[in-house]
């Protein structure tokens, strides 16, 4: 979460600032805000200024109004205005990641004048590019340090600037912005409004930090771990994050148990089926998790466009059947050998039942692995949220139901 781009701390505060930065970065925003309650406003500002801009906004939003204003008052005017402006944008948008564009110049300025301005700016901020704007703030071009270094000092910026500069809109989702950066790899991107007026800049590092955090949170979200939970989260808070999902998982487990109870008579007559219940549940569950992982990746990277869902579901269903067939053959052979060793008169039929159940369960599991996150996304929910719990329920119910159901129909 560290940014280290906006502010150079005073030497006497350096050690206290470093300790506070480390503490803030190890906690979610509301807990980080609680750590600032007893800190001096100036020290709190110095620590916040080193964090990811979006994380700064989340912490500021969690602070009491008075303390938030006291901290913002310690910031340089341009940075204070940027923090207030960023608060207007929703979480997860580029606007929340904006930093001030300190190096802003007029087109008529000379290279020599721009260099003199830069000398002062680099003492308190990390400057990567200079931005050329008109009197209305419209972005006209971009100046690189190389251009300033090798151009004649009398040259005007309008003559050496790069035109047609790529920029973001502040309301753009970070996930969408990340896709646009994959073929560019610039360290810094300007942010403009619809009239191309320069509002600020966003660093590529901040975008990738945010997306990396979201991706690492997916694994936990799939099993009901809140993305705000960290190693440092207090035990009681972790319990409150996790336990509701475990109760939901218990209810879904009862559903799978109910399916088994429906075929209690079949199990009593064909006890050997109990040996293969976890085998089918495990194989179909893994098949579903593979489809789930690929679908979540596609959603995260924006690879699934409108109208692609049906084709994806069909593909995962076919892959499930293709994977289920060879696995089903091996499982069927194993069932035949075990049943035959027990002198069961239904050994061959049981082997066929296991094969058919495996193919069917893996097919449905593949379909479910694609449908679950797509459905959650369609209803406006994080597609990773507890998706593994819903998928496990579907695969358990289908695999056990198909095995016991087919055995009941074909043997009993």
Question: Measuring CA to CA, which residue among 319, 72, 51 is closest to residue 209?
Answer: 51
Residue 295 lies in a domain: yes
- Whether the CB-CB separation of 204 and 174 falls below 8 Å is answered with no
CATH number, position 352: 1.10.357.20
- Whether the CB-CB separation of 403 and 266 falls below 8 Å is answered with no
Q: For the whole model, what pTM was predicted?
A: 0.57
Whether residue 301 is predicted with pLDDT greater than 90 in this model: the reply is: no
Tell me the two tokens of residue 229: 């939970």
Domain residue limits at 118: 104-213
Residues 381 and 319 in one domain: yes
Average pLDDT over residues 213-230: 51
Residues 275 and 348 in one domain: yes
Residue 141 is inside which H or E element, if any? strand 139-144
Residue 97 lies in a domain: no
Of 130-144, 160-174, 301-315, which range is least confident?
301-315
Residue 92 lies in a domain: no
Give, in order, the Cα–Cα distances in Å from 68 to each of 21, 63, 65, 80.
17, 6, 5, 11
How many other C-beta atoms lie within 10 A of the C-beta of residue 187?
10
- For residue 8, name the pLDDT band (cuts at 50, 70, 90): very low
Q: How far is Cα 160 from Cα 151, in angstroms, rounded to an integer?
A: 8
Q: Which residues contact 106 (CB under 8 A, 6 or more apart)?
A: 132, 133, 134, 135, 157
Angle CA 285–287–292, to nearest 5: 90
Residue 219 lies in a domain: no
On average, the pLDDT of the chain sits at 84
Residues 190 and 244 in one domain: no
Burial of 386 by CB count in 10 Å (0-12 exposed, 13-18 middle, 19+ buried)?
buried
> Scanning the structure block, which residue is given the tokens 């721009």?
114
Q: Which residues contact 276 (CB under 8 A, 6 or more apart)?
A: 331, 335, 354, 403
Q: Which residues contact 137 (CB under 8 A, 6 or more apart)?
A: 197, 198
Whether residue 316 is predicted with pLDDT greater than 90 in this model: the reply is: yes
Give, in order, the Cα–Cα distances in Å from 3 to each of 54, 83, 176, 208.
11, 15, 21, 12
Whether residue 292 is predicted with pLDDT greater than 80 in this model: the reply is: yes
- Whether the CB-CB separation of 12 and 62 falls below 8 Å is answered with no
Residues 294 and 346 in one domain: yes
Residue 316 lies in a domain: yes
| pLDDT tens digit sequence for 371-404 | 988 888 888 776 766 677 788 888 888 888 899 9
Q: What sign does the dihedral 181-183-189-193 (CA atoms) show?
A: negative
């Amino acid at each position: 979460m560290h940014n280290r781009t906006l502010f150079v701390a005073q030497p006497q505060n350096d050690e206290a600032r470093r300790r506070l930065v480390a503490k803030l970065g190890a906690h979610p925003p509301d807990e980080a805000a609680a750590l600032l309650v007893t800190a001096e406003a100036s020290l709190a500002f110095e620590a916040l200024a080193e964090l990811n801009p979006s994380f700064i906004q989340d912490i500021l939003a969690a602070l009491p109004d008075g303390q938030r204003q006291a901290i913002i008052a310690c910031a340089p005017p341009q940075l204070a205005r940027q923090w207030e402006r960023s608060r207007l944008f929703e979480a997860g948008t580029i606007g929340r990641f904006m930093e001030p564009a300190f190096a802003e110049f007029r087109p008529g300025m000379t290279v020599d004048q721009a260099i003199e301005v830069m000398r002062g700016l680099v003492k308190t901020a990390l400057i990567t590019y200079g931005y050329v704007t008109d009197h209305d703030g419209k972005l006209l071009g971009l100046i690189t340090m190389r251009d300033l270094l090798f151009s004649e000092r009398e040259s005007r910026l309008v003559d050496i600037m790069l035109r047609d500069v790529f920029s973001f809109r502040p309301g753009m989702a970070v996930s969408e912005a990340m896709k646009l950066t994959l073929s560019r790899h610039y360290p810094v991107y300007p942010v403009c409004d619809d009239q191309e007026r320069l509002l600020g800049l966003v660093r590529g590092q901040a975008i990738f930090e945010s997306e990396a955090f979201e991706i690492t949170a997916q694994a936990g979200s799939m099993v009901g771990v809140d993305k705000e939970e960290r190693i440092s989260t207090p035990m009681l808070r972790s319990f409150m994050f996790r336990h509701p999902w475990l109760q939901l998982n218990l209810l879904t487990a009862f559903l799978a148990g109910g399916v088994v109870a429906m075929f209690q008579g079949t199990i009593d007559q064909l006890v050997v089926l109990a040996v293969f219940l976890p085998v089918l549940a495990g194989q179909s569950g893994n098949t579903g998790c593979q489809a789930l992982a690929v679908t979540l990746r596609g959603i995260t990277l924006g690879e699934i466009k409108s109208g692609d869902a049906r084709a994806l579901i069909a593909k995962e269903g076919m892959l499930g059947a293709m994977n289920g067939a060879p696995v089903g053959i091996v499982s069927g052979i194993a069932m035949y050998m075990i049943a035959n060793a027990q002198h069961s008169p239904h050994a061959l039929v049981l082997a066929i039942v296991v094969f058919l159940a495996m193919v069917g369960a893996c097919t449905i599991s593949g379909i479910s692995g694609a449908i679950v996150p797509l459905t959650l996304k369609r209803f406006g929910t994080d597609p990773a949220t507890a998706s593994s719990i819903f998928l496990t329920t579907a695969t358990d119910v289908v695999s056990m139901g198909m095995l016991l159901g087919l055995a009941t129909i074909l043997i009993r």
